[in-house]
Structure 1
Amino acid sequence: MVDQEREEYLSFAMKLARAAERKIMPHFRRCAVSIKPDGTEVTAADREAEEAIRERLVDRYPDHDILGEEFGQGGIAGAARQWLVDPLDGTASFTLGIPLFGTLIALLEEGDPVVGVIHMPAIKETLFAARGGGCWYQEGDQEPVRVRVDPVTSLDEAYVATGGLHGSEVEHEEGQPPYKILDLVRAASRFRFVTDCLQHGLVCRGRLHVAVDTLMAPWDIGALVPCVEEAGGIVSNLTGQRENVAFGGSLISSASQELHEQALKTLQP
């Protein structure tokens, strides 16, 4: 059972996601794009949405830490509670007019994600979870429904997705042994490229069985972890480590422990 304090944090995180939506959607399909020093895209929507989230967090929880994609660390560094904020996960999709982008908001306690919200404003879908309270899916203004993974245990029966090929045999990172994404494709029952946070949400809902991201920042990961685990799934980075997973640099979500182990073994260089 989720405790009252985490319920309050989750409720506030949902309000933050809605506040971000009000900043993001007026820019959808009508925004200018800039390129950050790391080569990734950014828009006014990214920045305005994170500013809106940060202002509310600082006002409500001035003793908490904040780490966001656009403005880095803020709040109280080293605090026991830290918020991870990706105001617009899937900026590339957003700039192309593809409606499969989302806002990710997570709360960590002593480094472990305990609250997560995945809000996709253009398609009006939200997944949310607090540790001990299950994972819930809401479409538009309908009543939320509890969701669970489809506990497939064999890779040859699994629907598998990845958000890209970075660090794989196809898009090899110099100096690093490549993950065997193509072997995973061959071993799966069915494979799809599914953009950004959407694929991990589909694992929560039992539509996919494995979702793989080979390169992720903490703000990409934090919100996904409580949702997948509260839906009955398994998460780790691509070396199989669950500890400190939000800072593990990659993420794999699976519908069962057996499937997780098979997928990890298949992916290893």
Structure 2
Amino acid sequence: MVLTMIDDTKKFLDVALEAVKKAEPIFKRYFGNPGEVHAKGNNPRNWVTDVDREIEQLIVAEIKRQFPHHGIVGEEFSPNAPVSETYTWYLDPIDGTSLYIHGIPFCCISIGLADKTGPLVGVISNPQTGELFHAVRGIGAFKSGKPITVSKVSDFNLSFGALGWGTRKEASELFAKLIPNIGKIRVLGSSAMQLCFLAEGKLDFYVVTGVHAWDIAAGILIASEAGAKISDFEGNPYTLSAPEKMLSTNTHLHSQFFEAIQKSLDKS
């Protein structure tokens, strides 16, 4: 049976892809040299550039032109915007801003669309590497138009993956107990890119705390459509309304990682 997109969903995807296409030249033009760096709020480690803002404004304008009644939650201008009863877009104009500033190409543009059920469309572009990922719920996950799937690693000790965090104290306490019990790990920086790496089998797992819905709305759809299992740390289905703690693995490793996290939490 070949699944096809209904007309509305196809239009949603087309708009997201077109928005990314228009944003990519801006991303590439200032990569590694974005000008002045600002601290957001009272956190001197939470950086933003004028490029983040320019890209978000461009994407918002594209969405509003086509779907004026949709909700939009964007990291830079509308992080606390209300979620729509129908459709809400989640935008991260540069996921991995610190990497972008320093010219390290593990950063991307992330656009996700959710309805009442959850993520519906996801598009993630890394303009520096030319990688373009997308997914539509029930249709599958794709990289440059070709289907992708998660890895087949089932041996916990041979697994290779990544960790991420937003709050250092909470993460350091958890991961200090978790790291000795899991396979090889790296910290790559961008939640969206790491979920794409999970989706295409480059990573076997990704565990993160302190994320926001705009960080992962597109990525969790791409990963889950590729076969990933995603939950919170209690084993509940992962939702955008409570995105702070996420366990994502390939098809085979989830139960083993869940046990390791529970043991680490018990020791806290």
Shorter-normalised TM range: 0.7 to 0.9
- Aligned partner of 1:260 in structure 2 is 254
C-alpha separation between the residues in 2 aligned to 1:89 and 1:38?
20
Q: 1:151 Cα deviation (Å)?
A: 2.7
Q: What does residue range 147-226 of structure 1 map to in structure 2 within 5 Å?
A: 147-164=148-165, 171-173=168-170, 178-179=173-174, 181-196=175-190, 197-226=192-221
Q: Partner letter of residue 228 of structure 1? A: A
Whole-angstrom distance in 1 between the partners of 2:241 and 2:22: 24
1:95 is matched with: 101
Q: 1:85 to 1:250 in 2, by over 3 A?
A: same
Q: Compute the displacement of 1:137 (Å).
A: 0.6
Match of 1:121 among 102, 127, 131: 127
Letter in 2 for 1:151: K
Spell out, residue by residue over 1:136-188, the C-alpha distance to the aligned partner (whole angstroms, 9 max, x if none): 012xxxxx211101132332121121135x55xxx423xx9942x24443333
What does residue 29 of structure 2 align with?
Answer: 26
Match of 2:230 in 1: 235
Q: CA deviation at 1:253?
A: 1.6
Q: Residues 198 and 78 of structure 1: is their aligned pair in 2 closer, same or farther, counting only changes over 3 Å?
A: closer
Deviation readout 1:60-112 (Å, 9 max, x if unpaired): 00111100000116998533100000011000101111121111100101151
**Alpha-carbon spacing, 1:74–1:195, altered in 2? closer, same or farther (3 Å):** closer
Contact kept in structure 2, 1:155 and 1:188, CA below 8 Å: yes
Question: Unmatched 5+ residue regions in structure 2?
Answer: none
Q: Quote the residue 1:141 is aligned against.
A: none
SS in 2 for 1:156: helix
Q: Is contact 2:213–2:241 with CA below 8 Å preserved after alignment?
A: yes
Displacement of 1:22: 2.4
Query: d(CA) in 1 for partners of 2:84 and 2:38?
Result: 32
Quote the Cα distance in structure 2 between the aligned partners of 1:42 and 1:177.
Answer: 24
Q: Distance in 2 between matches of 1:30 and 1:177?
A: 31
**C-alpha distance in 1 between matches for 2:241 and 2:109:** 16
Computed over aligned residues only, the root mean square deviation of the Cα atoms, in angstroms, reads 2.2
> Which residue number in structure 1 is paired with residue 64 of structure 2?
58
Query: Of 141, 152, 158, which aligns to 1:135?
Result: 141
The code of the aligned residue for 1:33 comes to V
1:74–1:216 distance in 2 versus 1, CA, 3 Å = closer
Judge conservation of contact 1:162–1:199 (CA < 8 Å) in 2: no
Answer yes or no: is the 8 Å Cα contact 1:20–1:53 preserved in 2: yes
**1:108 aligned residue (72, 92, 114):** 114
Q: Secondary structure at the match of 1:152?
A: coil
After TM superposition, the structure 1 stretch with the greater mean CA deviation from structure 2, 61-70 or 105-114, is 105-114
C-alpha distance in 1 between matches for 2:234 and 2:83: 28
**1:6 counterpart SS class:** helix
CA distance, structure 1, for counterparts of residue 59 and residue 80 of structure 2: 12
For the pair 1:71 / 2:77, whether they are aligned, the reply is: yes
In structure 2, how many angstroms separate the alpha carbons of the residues matched to 1:205 and 1:74?
A: 32
Query: Are 1:42 and 2:48 matched, yes or no?
Result: yes
Contact 1:160 1:185 in 2 (8 A): no
Once the two structures are superposed, what CA deviation does each residue of 1:16-49 show, in whole Å capped at 9, x if it has no partner? 1122222222222222211110421000110000
Distance, in Å, in 2 between the alignment partners of 1:238 and 1:120 is 29
Q: How many matched pairs?
A: 256
Q: What 5-or-longer segments of structure 1 have no aligned partner?
A: 139-143
Structure 1 vs Structure 2: percent identity of aligned residues? 27
